[in-house]
Structure 1
Amino acid sequence: MTATTIEPPTPDIPRSGVVGGLVDAWVIMGRNLRFYARQPQIAVFVIIQPVMFVLLFRYVFGGSIPTPGVDYVQYLMPGIIVQSIAFSVVGTGVGIAQDLKAGMMDRFRSLPMARSAVLGGRVLADTAVSLVTLVVMLAVAYLVGFRITTSAVQAVAALLLLLAFTMSFAWVAAWIGLTLREPEAVQSAGFVWLFPVAFASSIFVLPATMPSWLQAFATHNPLSRLANAARSLTIGGYPCGPTLEQTTLCTGVAEDALWSLAWAGALVSIFLPLSARGWQRLD
């Protein structure tokens, strides 16, 4: 009688290589998008908030905000879109904190997947949500009078630039989520740093209307550079100058776009490694 040899089960081995990591990230992205689809109240909040900003600044404050040489709605809408997608990535950190609190991260870490897939999939999913927000905002912008006056190529370039910047901001939010780990704390911390960057910028008003000590920050902060690049690519330029009396129409799309890409690259190079380190600390 021959004894039967039972082979021990082979442990699952995570996929290796770039392709395996991308496949795993794609799967996690799908999981996160399905979660959004099953939680429509989240989508409503993501869309309603920017629409409220549009209506308030277009019809309540717009009449008192000077933008020499450009209709205020033309100046406002690229900035509002930048602000909306920047605020939307707060959900990246909140989602990570919620998964940590619910024990999902432990489950993910026990699965045979690339270690980079969980964070990468989350960032990709929230970038896709930001794309939906951007499309909705463009529709609202059209309804309130905004018109793209440049070519289709420039408009697509603006879209790609906005999405690239969104992904870089998502890595900042991911690091905050891994560091604080409490959804309420992550949401508060996300808006604490975004509000001054968004409102002390050229998103809503010209830096020339601000105190001189604030103008340098408002002119060069990353959201200002992105908003100005979006304006150049969609309406052909934007008012700029040290004072309202000296305001001219600037068309420095290359400079603003390069600065925006530089900011995006810097944020990714800093916060992606920090997020990876935060993920490793969960061991």
Structure 2
Amino acid sequence: MNTVTVFGSCNMDLVAYVPVAPRSGETVHGRAFRTVPGGKGANQAIAAAKAGATTRFVGSVGTDGFGEQIRDTLAGTGVDTAGLRTVEGNSGTAHIVVDDEGANSIVVVAGANASTDRIDGEAEGLIASSSCLLMQLETPLEGVEAAAEAAAAHGVRVVLTPAPAEPLPESLLSKVDLLVPNEHEAAVLTGQEDPELAVEALLHSVEEVVITLGERGVLYGNRTGKRLRVPAFPVRAVDTTAAGDTFVGALGAALAGEESVERALREGSAAAALSIGREGASSSMPSAAEIREFLENDAN
């Protein structure tokens, strides 16, 4: 059953491209502007669907035009939106500045995402019939915990991206099978700046950990003592906005398809590499065929 359910946030990304990001109090000229549906939850759902998994999304949009665009984009990429509620008010937005080095800074306004603080019977049914549940922390923690509890009750693998980083209760971590922080988030959770020490610390709370290290690749560890390092694929960065979400979505799709951890990490890394070579968030994510071709070319 190659099925992924994503519980989380969806935003409209308002993206300005600039040669150099402005400092505090500074105004700069931009070279382009785009509106692209995003949010960590929607990004992971689109990445998983493009990577070949049957994908459902559980979240909330507002009654504004952005909400309609977000829903249409998810559906247009093959994501089942039966679990996407519409609530009165504005949809979530992310205000993003991307410089010519591909680096970005982001301000997120929760909007309708703030109402994703629980699950109903329909959402629980979607989670229960999945191979894998992907979650993040751009929605209220109460909802994340409820979704994790439902997944645990039905034997569904729980993958959590702890972003934005914040201390997490053991009641949540005890239900997480795989934690996927970046190195900054891992340091916030553990107090350890060294990723290898952070992995060891996190394995006291969860069964498996993947720490993403940007251009240094990813570091994996589990409680049985297995450790893996997968180097990043060398590509020219154009826009890194959704690289982490692309990695997690493709990773989740591979794990739901019962790929080995090694293969899943490579597929996630390949998807992330392809995405940062393109502008945009969800629009930059590769298809399953593109991921396979990329890995085949790398092997030759």
What is the TM-score when the length of structure 1 is the normalising length? 0.25
Larger radius of gyration: 1
Which structure carries more relative contact order (alpha carbon 8 Å, separation 6+)?
A: 1
Between Structure 1 and Structure 2, the one with more helix by share is 1
